[in-house]
Amino acid sequence: ISHAEHAGYHFLIDGTNYDDRNAYRPGMKALQELGIHSPLLELQVTKAQIRSLAADLGISSSDRPSAPCLATRLPYGTKLDFDVLANIDQGEQFIKTLDFYNVRLRLHQDIIRIEIDKKDFGKFLEYQEQILVRLKELGFLYITLDLEGFRSGSMDIKIDKTLN
């Protein structure tokens, strides 16, 4: 904020969109307290509308999968460990090189839970051994595939939605 003020900016905005209103976002309170505006949320612009507009404008990343903060891969209240987060990132990037679109690795103590789109379960079995070897190299002890598939915000299941 001080950098923006020093640079002469009078307003700060973020990219929170209308679809984010139902997700647990602990930072939303901080945005409000700091006077940071969320115009996409305020104008009720959805993620699908943003992607459509970006495609219309020829923006090449319009269909890129969401890339939320790596801290969302850990249960709330977990102390952040940058080495662990780096290993999660490396694991996700490795799986993406095998042509998986949506990939999340969620850490639960000694268990790493792999979320991919359900339609990719068959393909996953083809690469199962490669994925297992790479994730073991990264230090993960127990490796599971989430049978519910990829779900944005799956770490929020235990969160009281009234906290936002």
Domains located in the chain, CATH noted: 2-56 (no CATH), 70-154 (3.30.70)
Cα-based distances in Å from 27 to 16, 24, 60, 69, 133: 10, 9, 29, 12, 36
With bands split at pLDDT 50, 70 and 90, how would you rate the model's confidence at 158? low
Distance between CA 40 and CA 37 in Å, rounded? 9
Distance between CA 90 and CA 79 in Å, rounded? 19
What are the backbone angles phi and psi of residue 93, rounded to the nearest 5°? -65, -40
Q: Which of 65, 45, 39 is nearest to 120 (CA)?
A: 65
Q: What is the 3-state secondary structure (H, E, C) of the chain?
A: CHHHHHCCCCCCECCCCHHHHHCCCCHHHHHHHHCCECHHHHCCCCHHHHHHHHHHCCCCCCCCCCCCCHHHHCCCCCCCCHHHHHHHHHHHHHHHHCCCCCEEEEEECCEEEEEECHHHHHHHHHHHHHHHHHHHHCCCCEEEECCCCCCCCHHHCCCCHHHC
With bands split at pLDDT 50, 70 and 90, how would you rate the model's confidence at 7? very high
**Residue 75 pLDDT:** 84
Distance between CA 106 and CA 88 in Å, rounded? 8
Predicted confidence (pLDDT) per residue in 27-68, tens digit: 777 888 888 999 999 999 998 999 999 999 999 888 877 777
**Residue 77 pLDDT:** 82
